[in-house]
């Protein structure tokens, strides 16, 4: 049957992250309601397997890729004053590039500025890798982009130079 847990076709699901603890399925449906009541086929809030606590992430599945893209264009929901992040949930890996050789002192703004030429909203997320124990920056990070086309464009560009250091960008 068509259970609500089934994943849709590639490109039909959005992954929302950094959602506040109090987020409900209704909050998410309300955010996307202007797409019409039929657009959303599935909402799945991700919970910690052990504790059942909400992990701040959710999948929202749409009927078509077009609807998912329209939903993405609405931007992330702001729930209880917290702005979430949103991207197309890719089955073929995420739309991310990996940056390495990053100097200490690198800022998110360095990345946003470098990739500004890809267009408004091209960079959807930036996450820096730190040592779990010491919290020390590992000189690496992931940059999420809003589409696989932009991933390719970002890789075709020269990687950023930050504080005089040439970064390396790869998939």
> Could you list the mean pLDDT of each consecutive 10-residue stretch along the chain, which spans 171 residues?
51 90 94 91 88 90 90 88 82 76 95 94 90 89 89 93 95 83
56 and 17 assigned to the same domain: yes
Number of domains, the chain:
2
pLDDT score for 8: 62
Question: Do the domain assignments include residue 4?
Answer: no
Cβ-proximal residues to 124 (8 Å cutoff; 6+ apart), any chain:
85, 86, 87, 95, 144, 145, 146
User: What's the pLDDT score for residue 114?
Assistant: 96
In a 13 Å sphere around the CA of 97, the CA atoms on its Cβ side amount to 26
CATH label of the domain that carries residue 123: 3.30.70.330
- Between CA 162 and CA 105 the distance in angstroms is 9
Same domain, 78 and 107: no
Q: Which domain holds residue 47?
A: 13-88
Return the pLDDT at 95: 84
């Amino acid at each position: 049957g068509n259970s609500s847990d089934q994943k849709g076709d590639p490109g039909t699901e959005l992954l929302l992250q950094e959602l506040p603890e109090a987020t409900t399925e209704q909050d998410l449906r309300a955010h996307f309601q202007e797409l019409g009541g039929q657009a959303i086929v599935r909402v799945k809030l991700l919970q910690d397997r052990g504790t059942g606590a909400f992990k701040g992430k959710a999948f929202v599945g749409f009927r078509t890729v077009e609807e998912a893209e329209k939903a993405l264009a609405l931007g992330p929901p702001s729930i209880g004053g917290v702005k979430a992040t949103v991207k197309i949930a890719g089955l073929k890996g995420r739309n991310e590039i990996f940056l390495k050789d990053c100097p200490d002192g690198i800022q998110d703004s360095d990345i946003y500025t470098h990739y500004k030429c890809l267009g408004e909203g091209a960079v959807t997320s930036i996450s820096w890798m730190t040592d779990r124990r010491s919290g020390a920056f590992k000189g690496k990070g992931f940059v999420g982009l809003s589409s696989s086309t932009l991933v390719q464009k970002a890789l075709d560009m020269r990687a950023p130079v930050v504080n005089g250091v040439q970064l390396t960008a790869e998939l």
